Amino acid sequence: MIKTIDDFAVEGLRVLVRADLNVPLRDGCVADDGRIRASLPTLTALTTRGARVIVCAHLGRPGGQPDPKYSLAPVTARLGELLGRAVELATDTTGPAARAAVAALAPGDLVMLENLRFNAAETSKDDEQRGAFAEQLADLADLYVADGFGAVHRKHASVYEVALRLPHAAGYLVQAEVDALSRLTANIRRPYVVALGGAKVADKFDAFGSLLAAADRILVGGAMAFPFLVARGDKVGTSLLEASQVGAAAELLRRAAPGQIQLPSDIVVAAEPGDSGAVVAADAIPADQMGLDIGPQTAVRFAAALFPAQTVFWNGPMGMFELAPYAGGTLAVAQALTDGEAFTVVGGGDTGAAIRALGLAEDTFGYVSTGGGASLEFIQGKTLPGLAALEAS
């Protein structure tokens, strides 16, 4: 049984909140603040109840050492704007600046620690190194709160080891994620349709087998489609493709029931991203062109498959939605979900960013998850270290 922050009297306690604030930046500012907004209910509840809140998070992959490019300063500034209060950023994670900032906290105050991944021990494969860093983090606090669902599938010091060293609880975000994703693993309302896309293909291949066993239909777009097209004998020009995934795609096509896996029948292609796109048949992509979106025919077909569904899991946009010529497929899928009656889980940071960029309200979907890889592993039934640590007494 996982305890939540409502199970603890937090007034006066130093509460270390592991948030997921790994957001995209553009020109030194936060480009999409969805994950920051998702952390607000927990942070607001704790500060309102008089906790001394210490927020820790990572940003990017700085390689285990300080790098100004990956500083949490822009994230801290945006968090302060959303909270309507100034938020201090300690200039280190567990050093003198962090300890001084924590010591100065009054009940209801909040401070952010600098990027956890500036310390190589955070992500180390060595248990002792991670444990030593976790001890330093634990020394700052009286209670640990896991609220970064997007990181709970990682056995990192701030995600796993700290929870074993302190009284611990789930924040509201982690609680909501578990509740929503659990509806994709038991007593599923059918038809259950999965839409998979995006450019991060490897993680989805790991999950595809489990989804094949659970879903009535799987719609495949984005870069995810290209290994399947090649597996059935098509050429994909200069499209994003890892040749090693073609064999896996072929095996999945072999295992699938007839019609269970739906692939694009037409593709929007261009020589380079940003060029005006042309629509071609999926089996006729020119050798010097790359696929950048599903075509209009496919968009209509996918929307028709999604509309009658009772449960939908959507992970990954259908194309390079950031550029207008290639946003049509993603918009069509999103619109079909808002028009239908299904309980819909939108999974992954890129997918959430896509619906916000396209101007769609998040509350028109059943649940918008903050965890890409974490949500995929959860619905496969895998043990997630961050959740397992919360279950430990």
Catalytic residue among 35, 130, 204, 217: 35
Contact between 286 and 264 under an 8 Å Cβ cutoff? The reply is no
Residue 10 CA to its chain's centroid (Å): 29
Q: Tell me the residue length of the chain.
A: 393
Has 150 been annotated as catalytic?
A: no
Contact between 161 and 136 under an 8 Å Cβ cutoff? The reply is no
Has 85 been annotated as catalytic?
A: no
Catalytic residue among 197, 198, 291, 373: 373
Has 35 been annotated as catalytic?
A: yes
Has 349 been annotated as catalytic?
A: yes
Report how far residue 365's alpha carbon sits from residue 334's, in angstroms, rounded to the nearest whole number. 9
Contact between 346 and 340 under an 8 Å Cβ cutoff? The reply is no
Catalytic residue among 154, 200, 204, 217: 200
Please choose, from the candidates 17, 50, 51, 49, the residue with its C-alpha nearest in 3D space to the C-alpha of residue 36: 17
Catalytic residue among 148, 349, 352, 371: 349
Looking only at the bridges linking them, the beta strands covering 192-196 and 311-315 are parallel
Active site residues: 35, 200, 349, 373
